[in-house]
């Protein structure tokens, strides 16, 4: 892995911020499930915990109301995919927040106009 990529990864490990407040426990639970696809395990308490691969500690993740930050144990080929999963979780949660804030379309409004 080149020094450039190590630098990018170290920057990402400092944290990924959400545009909105998130529920750290919900985010950590989603992270836990999504990491299974990478054959990783995430054990957490109140949103903070450890990521393991084959019983080896990969990194620590701290889910907070404004996003996630990491403490790297070692940078390797699994570090970036793990960070990408966290980014995906934050993006999903931000999108859900945006969708909740949009006004709901009233499906009956068109038919009500016809009856007036």
Q: How far is the C-alpha of 110 from the C-alpha of 17, rounded, in Å?
A: 41
Q: Is residue 105 part of a domain?
A: no
Domain extent for 11? 3-91
Domain count, the chain: 1
Q: How far is CA 25 from CA 17, 49, 62, 105, 112, in A?
A: 16, 11, 10, 31, 43
CATH number of the domain that residue 38 is part of: 3.30.310
What was the pLDDT predicted at 18? Answer: 92
Q: Is residue 28 part of a domain?
A: yes
Q: Is residue 103 part of a domain?
A: no
Q: What is the value of pTM for the model shown?
A: 0.81
Average pLDDT over residues 37-52: 96
The answer to whether 27 touches 93, Cβ cutoff 8 Å, is yes
Question: What band does 113 get if pLDDT is binned at 50, 70 and 90?
Answer: low
What was the pLDDT predicted at 12? Answer: 85
Q: How far is the C-alpha of 73 from the C-alpha of 112, rounded, in Å?
A: 61
pLDDT tens per residue across span 62-78: 999 999 999 977 888 89
Q: Is residue 64 part of a domain?
A: yes
Strand-pair category, 67-72 with 40-45? unpaired
Q: Which residues pair with 51 in a beta bridge?
A: 42, 59
Average pLDDT over residues 65-92: 92
Q: Is residue 102 part of a domain?
A: no
């Amino acid at each position: 892995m080149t020094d450039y990529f190590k630098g990018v990864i170290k920057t990402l490990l400092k944290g990924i911020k959400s545009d909105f407040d998130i529920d750290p426990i919900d985010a950590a639970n989603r992270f836990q499930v999504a990491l299974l696809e990478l054959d990783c395990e995430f054990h957490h308490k109140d949103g903070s915990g450890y990521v393991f691969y084959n019983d080896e500690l990969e990194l620590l993740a701290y889910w907070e109301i404004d996003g996630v930050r990491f403490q790297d144990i070692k940078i390797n080929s699994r570090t970036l995919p793990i960070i990408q999963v966290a980014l995906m979780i934050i993006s999903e949660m931000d999108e859900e927040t945006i969708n909740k804030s949009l006004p709901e379309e009233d499906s009956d409004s068109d038919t009500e106009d016809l009856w007036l």
